Amino acid sequence: MIPVRVNGRYRLKDKVGSGAYGEVYHASDIIGECLEHKYNVLRQLGDTVGIPHVHWFGREDSYDALVLDHLGQSLESVFKAYQHSFSHNTIVFIAHQLVCRLQYIHSKHFIHRNLKPNDILIGTGKDAAQDFSSFTSINSHAGMELGHRDDIESLAYLLIYLFCGSLPWLCCSGISDKQVVEMKYDTMKLCQDLPEEVEQILTYSCSLSFDQKPDYAFLCRLLQRINIVDLNGLQVYVTQ
C-alpha cells in the first residue's frame, strides 16, 4: 500500500513511473498548500472587523511564511484561567459575535468547518483578535460535504461547552470517532439544565437543509433572550 504522506509534509499523487529500484510519484507540499490556501481565503475575506490583516505571504529560505496581525489569547486559555466558568453575559456576547462573523464568512461563500475554543482569540480594543476538532458537526464525521448549517451546529457545541464547562467526548481518552458521533447524537441531554435557547439553536442547526441559508437574525434573537449583554468594547476576530 502506498503511503498518503511522506515525512509528514508531502502527499503522494499520481504515479510517474517505476524501475528496478523503486517508483516515482508526483507529490504536493501539504504545508505550503495549507498556508497558500489560508492566504487566499483571508485575501478574499478582505480587511474587515473580525478578520486578521495579512501583511505578507511568500517563500523565505526553504519555508513558506504567512505574516498576520498579532492575535490575542485563545478562548480556551481564558476559559481555563476562569476555571471553565464564564458568566451568561460573556458567553452570549462571544456567541453573538461569532454569529456575525459566520454570517460574513458565509456571505463570501466560505464555511469555517470547525469552531473550537483553542482557535478563537479574544481581546479588547485594537489588539483584540480571534482565530476560528472536536466541535465539528456530525456530517463532518460522516465525511459528507459541509454547508452553512454545519457551522451553526459547531457553534451550538461551543455554546454547550461554555455553559457546561466541558463536553462528554472531551473527557474520554482513546475514544473512537464513532463513539464521538454517538455522544453528539445524545447532546440534547446536556441542554436540559441550560437556557432553552441553547437547545433551540442546536435543534435549528439540525433542521436546516444543505443549501439553506441560516437565519442569523433569528439566532441573535435567541441569544438576546438569554441575557442582556454589555459590549464593553470587546471584539472577536476569526480566521481559519
- What is the bridge-based pairing of β-strands 54-60 and 22-29? unpaired
**DSSP E strand stretches across the chain:** 5-6, 10-19, 22-29, 54-60, 63-68, 73-74, 121-124, 234-237
Q: Which residues contact 64 (CB under 8 A, 6 or more apart)?
A: 29, 31, 32, 35, 36, 57, 58
For residue 129, the model assigns a pLDDT of 44
Query: C-alpha angle with apex 16: 12 to 18, nearest 5 degrees?
Result: 105
Report the alpha-carbon distance of residue 238 to residue 105 in Å, rounded: 9
Phi, psi of 114, rounded to the nearest 5 degrees: -165, 100
Record the pTM: 0.75
For residue 232, the model assigns a pLDDT of 47
Domains annotated for the chain, with CATH where assigned, are 20-68 (no CATH), 73-237 (1.10.510.10)
Report the alpha-carbon distance of residue 208 to residue 205 in Å, rounded: 6
For residue 131, the model assigns a pLDDT of 44
CA 159 to chain CA mean position, Å: 13
Name residues of the chain where pLDDT drops below 70: 1-11, 17-21, 26-32, 123-133, 135, 142, 227-240
For residue 222, the model assigns a pLDDT of 94
For residue 229, the model assigns a pLDDT of 45
For residue 141, the model assigns a pLDDT of 75
Q: How many CB atoms lie within 10 A of CB 59?
A: 9
Q: How many CB atoms lie within 10 A of CB 86?
A: 18
3-state secondary structure of 162: helix
